């Protein structure tokens, strides 16, 4: 991680603004797993939560391919065939050892992640992460904020 936001500490119970898809702003309270947090981490900051979950659990990150075709002119497009192109990633989760896909909304059987039903899933590669972190399409991953929600989510999962 090289971005400044990832290095900044975040306490629990502080108000933070997360920047999501289309520069939408989400006001969350760190460590409070509520609708605001679920909105932020399903609308542009899912990668931050996946990275934070990966740090804590070691579970691999998984791309959900929600976009059917490469779009011409997409800065993330590498032009590779099939499902592999980073420009087609719509959501990022971690895969639990039992195969469940885990995001801020909980643990889901593959193919049942909310808003990403029945889409291809593939292991995030270094190439995928480089494209995501290039910062032209996806916002900077606010991993410091995301880390405060890992404990609450794991507690919820039991």
Edge-to-edge order in the sheet of strand 101-103 = 106-108, 101-103, 89-95, 61-65, 121-123
- Residues 98-114: b if buried by 16+ CB within 10 A, e if exposed: eebbbbbbebbeeeebe
Residues facing residue 63 across a β-bridge: 92, 122
Q: Which residue has the tokens 């995030």?
A: 124
Q: What is the closest distance, in whole angstroms, from the C-beta atom of residue 64 to Zn ion in the complex?
A: 15
Residue closer to Zn ion by CB (options 134, 154) is: 134
Q: What is the closest distance, in whole angstroms, from the C-beta atom of residue 67 to Zn ion in the complex?
A: 8
Judged by the rule CB under 5 A, the positions of this chain that interact with Zn ion are 70, 77, 85, 87
Q: What is the closest distance, in whole angstroms, from the C-beta atom of residue 47 to Zn ion in the complex?
A: 17
Residue closer to Zn ion by CB (options 13, 72) is: 72
Closest by Cα among 91, 110, 114, 112 to 99: 110
Q: What is the closest distance, in whole angstroms, from the C-beta atom of residue 81 to Zn ion in the complex?
A: 10
Residue closer to Zn ion by CB (options 18, 87) is: 87
Q: What is the closest distance, in whole angstroms, from the C-beta atom of residue 87 to Zn ion in the complex?
A: 3
Residue closer to Zn ion by CB (options 1, 137) is: 137
Please state, as a whole number, how many other Cβ atoms lie within 10 Å of the Cβ of residue 70.
17
Residue closer to Zn ion by CB (options 29, 78) is: 78
Angle 83-115-49 from CA coordinates, rounded to 5°: 80
């Amino acid at each position: 991680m090289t971005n400044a936001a990832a290095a900044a500490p975040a306490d629990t119970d502080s108000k933070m603004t997360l920047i999501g898809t289309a520069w939408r702003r989400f006001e969350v309270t760190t460590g409070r797993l509520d609708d605001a947090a679920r909105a932020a981490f399903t609308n542009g900051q899912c990668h931050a939560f996946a990275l934070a979950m990966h740090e804590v659990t070691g579970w691999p990150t998984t791309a959900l391919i929600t976009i059917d075709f490469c779009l011409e002119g997409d800065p993330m497009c590498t032009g590779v065939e099939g499902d592999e192109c980073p420009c087609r990633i719509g959501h990022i989760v971690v895969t639990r050892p039992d195969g469940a896909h885990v995001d801020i909304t909980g643990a889901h059987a593959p193919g049942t992640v909310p808003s990403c039903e029945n889409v291809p899933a593939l292991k995030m590669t270094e190439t995928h992460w480089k494209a995501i972190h290039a910062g032209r399409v996806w916002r900077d991953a606010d991993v410091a904020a995301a880390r405060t929600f890992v404990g609450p989510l794991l507690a919820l999962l039991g």
